[in-house]
Amino acid sequence: MIGEVSIGGVFLPSLLVLAIAALAIVVLLSRLLALVGAYRLVAYRPLVDVALFLLILGLLASLTTTFGLHP
């Protein structure tokens, strides 16, 4: 996988950029889930949050690959 995002000539690994994006999404998602009350269905909330982060990161990585943002 080729991963590079250029920000003003500074090339960052795209995984880093995706991880930041995934973190932001997870923060929002966890607020939403707390609002809905979905956390009542799980046993240990921090573990689920970490798992959600990984899932969203994987999703973002495969999505950006599919749409050809980076091969």
Partner 1 sequence: MNRILAPLARWAVTLSIVVLAVLVAVRLWRHYETDPWTRDGHVRADVVRVAPDVGGLVTSVAVRDNQFVHKGDLLFVVDQPRYADALNQADASIASARATLEQARRVAKRDLALGDLVATETHEENVAKVATAAAALDAALAARQTASLNVARTAIRASVNGIVTNLDLHPGDYLGAGHQAMAVVDMDSLRIEGYFEETKLRHIHVGDKAKIRLMGDERDLEGHVDSISAGIADDQSKDTANQLREVQPTFSWVRLAQRIPVRIHVDRMPRGTQLIAGRTATVTILQPEQQKPAQPQPQPQPAANTQGPRR
CA–CA separation, 13 and 51 (whole Å): 22
CA–CA separation, 1 and 15 (whole Å): 10
Q: Does 26 bind partner 1 (CB under 8 A)?
A: no
Which of 36, 44, 66, 67 is close enough to bind partner 1 by CB under 8 A?
44
Q: Look at residue 47 and give its three-state secondary structure.
A: helix
Q: Does 63 bind partner 1 (CB under 8 A)?
A: no
Residues that bind partner 1 (CB under 8 A): 1-4, 6, 11, 13, 15, 41-44, 47-48, 50-55, 57-59, 61, 71
